[in-house]
Amino acid sequence: MDISSYKPYLSQETMMGPNSVRILAELFDKHPLQPAADDLILDLGCGTGLTSLVIAKETGAKVYANDLWISAEENGKRFAQWGVGKQITPICEDANHLHFEKKQFHALVSIDSYHYFAGREGFFQEKILPFMKDGGVVLIGIPGVKDAYTDRGEELLSDWLGEEAYMLKSPTHWEELIGSHDRIETVKTWEMDCFRKAWSEWFATNNVFACGDKQYFETIIEPYTCFVGIYVKLK
Ligand SMILES: C[S@@+](CC[C@H](N)C(=O)[O-])C[C@H]1O[C@@H](n2cnc3c(N)ncnc32)[C@H](O)[C@@H]1O
C-alpha cells in the first residue's frame, strides 16, 4: 500500500501516536483484506478516524469507526470534510460494551488501541468474536514489549508509561491472550517492521505528547518495545 497519498491527512490534530497509517499499511501488505461490496469493517478504537479513512479508501467497504475518547459528532464532521461521510459511520462506545448485530463484520481493524481494553484472557471470545462473520479477519497493531522482555513491561516501562506500563505485552503474550475457540482458525503475532519510521513520524509532529515520548525513546522505547502485529483468521 502506498501511504504517500494520506500525508495531507496527517497532522498534530489527527495523530494520536506513532503513525497509525504506516502501521495499518504494514498489516494490509502482509494480510490484504478482500471484502465484498456490501461487507462491513469495524475500526475499533479509531481515534480521530485516520485509519477509518484508509480502510474505506483502500478496501471500498463500508466502515464503522468506533472510539471512546473522540465523539461520534466530531469524527462525523471530519469524515464529511474528507468526503467519506457516506462510507464511514462514526460511533462512540466502550469496546467492553458494543451494541452491534451478531456476525456483522467481515473484518475488524484496531491500531494503537486494543491494548487499552483487551489485555485479558477471554476478551476476544466474549467481546469481539460474536460480532464477526464466519471466515472473518482481525488485524491489530499495538505497542508492546519485545518477546525478549515478556512479562517485564511494568518493571521496564513504568518511568515512561507510569501506571499504564502493564498494558504493553509481548507478541507471545498476546497470542496466549487471544487464545483459542472453535471458530478461530489461525492466530499469528509478530514484531512489526515499521517501528522506527512510525515513531519518527510521530516525533515530527512536535505535539506535546510526542515530545514527552521522545525523551524516553533511546533509553526505554527503542531498547525494550516494539509494535505487535496480530492476525486472526476465523473459520
Ligand atoms: C492512542 S489512541 C489511538 C487512536 C487511533 N487508533 C490512532 O492510532 O491514531 C487510543 C484510542 O483507544 C481508544 N480507546 C481506549 N479505550 C477504549 C475503549 N474501552 N473502547 C473503545 N476505544 C477505546 C481511545 O478512545 C483512543 O482514541
Q: How far is the CA of 46 from the centre of ligand 1 (A)?
A: 6
Q: How far is the CA of 154 from the centre of ligand 1 (A)?
A: 21
As a whole number of angstroms, the distance between CA 6 and CA 118 comes to: 28
Kindly list the distances between the CA atom of residue 41 and the CA atoms of 30, 48, 179, in Å, as whole numbers in the listed order: 18, 16, 22
Q: How far is the CA of 69 from the centre of ligand 1 (A)?
A: 7
Q: Is the pLDDT of residue 37 over 90?
A: no
Alpha helical stretches, state H, 13-152: 20-30, 50-59, 72-81, 114-117, 123
Mean pLDDT in residue range 217-226: 98
As a whole number of angstroms, the distance between CA 110 and CA 93 comes to: 14
Q: Which residue has the cell 469496546?
A: 95
Q: Is the pLDDT of residue 208 over 90?
A: yes
Q: Is the pLDDT of residue 111 over 90?
A: yes
* pLDDT at residue 36, rounded to an integer: 87
Q: How far is the CA of 24 from the centre of ligand 1 (A)?
A: 15
Amino acid identity of 41? Answer: I
Q: pLDDT class for 54, splitting at 50, 70, 90?
A: very high
Q: Which domains does the chain have, with CATH numbers?
A: 3-234 (3.40.50.150)
**HSE-up (13 A, CA, CB side) for residue 38:** 1
Mean pLDDT in residue range 136-151: 97
Give the nearest ligand 1 atom to 16 CA: 9
Per-residue cell: 29:
501488505
Q: Is the pLDDT of residue 118 over 90?
A: yes
Lowest mean per-residue pLDDT among 34-38, 93-97, 126-130 = 34-38
Looking at the chain, the whole-number percentage of residues with pLDDT higher than 70 is 100
Mean pLDDT in residue range 176-198: 98
Q: How far is the CA of 188 from the centre of ligand 1 (A)?
A: 22
Using most ligand atoms within 8 A of CB, pick from 64, 75, 113, 199 the residue to mutate for ligand 1.
113
96 — phi, psi (to 5°)? -80, -15
Using most ligand atoms within 8 A of CB, pick from 96, 116, 202 the residue to mutate for ligand 1.
116
As a whole number of angstroms, the distance between CA 153 and CA 200 comes to: 22
Among 49, 43, 52, 99, which Cα is nearest to 70's? 49
214 — phi, psi (to 5°)? -55, -35
Question: What does the pLDDT look like over 55-85, one tens digit per residue?
Answer: 999 999 999 999 999 999 999 999 999 999 9
Residue located nearest, by CA, to atom 16 of ligand 1: 116
Q: Is the pLDDT of residue 191 over 90?
A: yes
Mean pLDDT in residue range 163-187: 98
What is the CB < 6 Å shell around ligand 1? Answer: 16-17, 20, 45-47, 50-51, 67-70, 94-96, 111-113, 116-117
